[in-house]
Amino acid sequence: MNKLKFIKNVEKMIDPINIGTTHFLQTYSKILPKSLQYKIIKKSSEQNPYMGFVVEPYSLFLCYELRDLDWAQSLLPDNFKLIKTSIFKDDDPKYYCIFGIFNVHTSAFWGTRMEFYIIAENKTTGLLSWVIIDYDTNTISYDEKNGLSDANTTTCVFTTAYDGEVIVDIQNERKNRTLISNGKVSSGQFNKLSSRLWLEGNLSVGYGEELTNSGDDVFALIFHPSEVEQALKLPTEIVNIQKNTWYPGLFEHEPSQIVCFPYAQHFLSDSPGHVSEISSEIELLKQYNEIDFSTFSKYSGNSIKKAFLIGQLISTLIILVLIATLIFR
């Protein structure tokens, strides 16, 4: 598929008005039982198997070597095992955990996310996988165990300054964790990335023990391989990690590698409940070239809207019955 056609179609899938409505309705829908939330999300994915997912420029990845491998393995579901990986093409492989920090606009939400991953191998498929252990965000989110969730940050800043400095200040007081850093991307140089980590890994994104009930819940992204072919390699000495209180003792004090993508990345992401089975770059390119945007509708919050309206109707009927009971006693 033509690059411009794919990018424009992904962007057209993202409707700010619909996202705003979904954000509003999420406040009410989260009171529903998580099993019912899952059914609603699953129903929506039948009509909308993909979400537009755009990672905005200057996404940052802080890559730390794991120190306590037993602890790291305990954070993974049984279907995943730790695996060494390179970050850039010619690096020595290590056991890694990674903080991914990015501004994002998608078909379902818009905001800032910081996701904490442990890199592992899916025992069933053999695919290298990014396993999301936990995340902090200033926007809504969904995972199998927690259902629909509000923002969980008290401070959530990820931005750039006029002189090319990337600024991170993300704090979650409830979980007593903070990551504060800054560094100039102008000091970075483009380097080839490890294709197994950045390409194969995006075909198998899983969830850690805290976020999943099933243990083997994964999703895939559809994209052109060039999106993850290269990125800026930032010298670790010019990035100032002022504070990082996540999982003390799990990983080394300073990151081994720091990656920055200075351009927007356009993906189609599986909607919750839908799984694309892609296992190689050849299959990925086939999906990319053959995807027909006309065969599925825009991702929408219609299922959530319907649940909200049904809930409102039931509440109104209950109130009317109570009023009638009081009047005709």
Partnered with residue 122 across adjacent β-strands are 80
| Residue 309 pLDDT greater than 80, yes or no | no
- Residues 202 and 222: their CA atoms lie apart, in Å, by 8
Tokens 């649940």 identify what position?
A: 307
| Residue 118 pLDDT greater than 70, yes or no | yes
The pLDDT value recorded for residue 45 is: 61
- In 3D space, the residue among 183, 94, 108, 189 whose CA is nearest the CA of residue 141 turns out to be 108
Average pLDDT, the chain: 88
The pLDDT value recorded for residue 82 is: 98
The pLDDT value recorded for residue 304 is: 54
The pLDDT value recorded for residue 138 is: 96
Q: What is the pLDDT of residues 239-267, one digit of tens each?
A: 999 999 999 999 999 999 999 999 999 99
Domain that holds residue 191: 3-327
- Residues 166 and 63: their CA atoms lie apart, in Å, by 16
Higher pLDDT, 311 or 171: 171
The predicted model scores a pTM of: 0.89
Asked which of 25-39, 40-54, 80-94, 150-164 is least confident by mean pLDDT, the reply is 25-39
The pLDDT value recorded for residue 171 is: 98
Q: Which residues, including other chains, have CB under 8 Å from residue 184's CB and lie 6 or more apart? A: 163, 164, 165, 166, 238
Give 252-310 as a DSSP string.
Answer: -SS-SEEEEE-S-EEEEEEPTT------SHHHHHHHHHH--GGGSPPP--HHHHHHHHH
Most confident among 17-21, 148-152, 278-282, 291-295 (mean pLDDT): 278-282
Report the amino acid identity of residue 173: E
Q: What is the pLDDT of residues 166-223, one digit of tens each?
A: 999 999 999 999 999 999 998 899 999 999 999 999 999 999 988 887 667 899 999 9
| CB-CB contact of 104 with 54 (8 Å) | yes
pLDDT band at 300 (very low <50, low <70, confident <90, very high): low
- In 3D space, the residue among 218, 30, 23, 4 whose CA is nearest the CA of residue 117 turns out to be 218
What's the number of domains the chain is made of? 1
pLDDT band at 71 (very low <50, low <70, confident <90, very high): very high
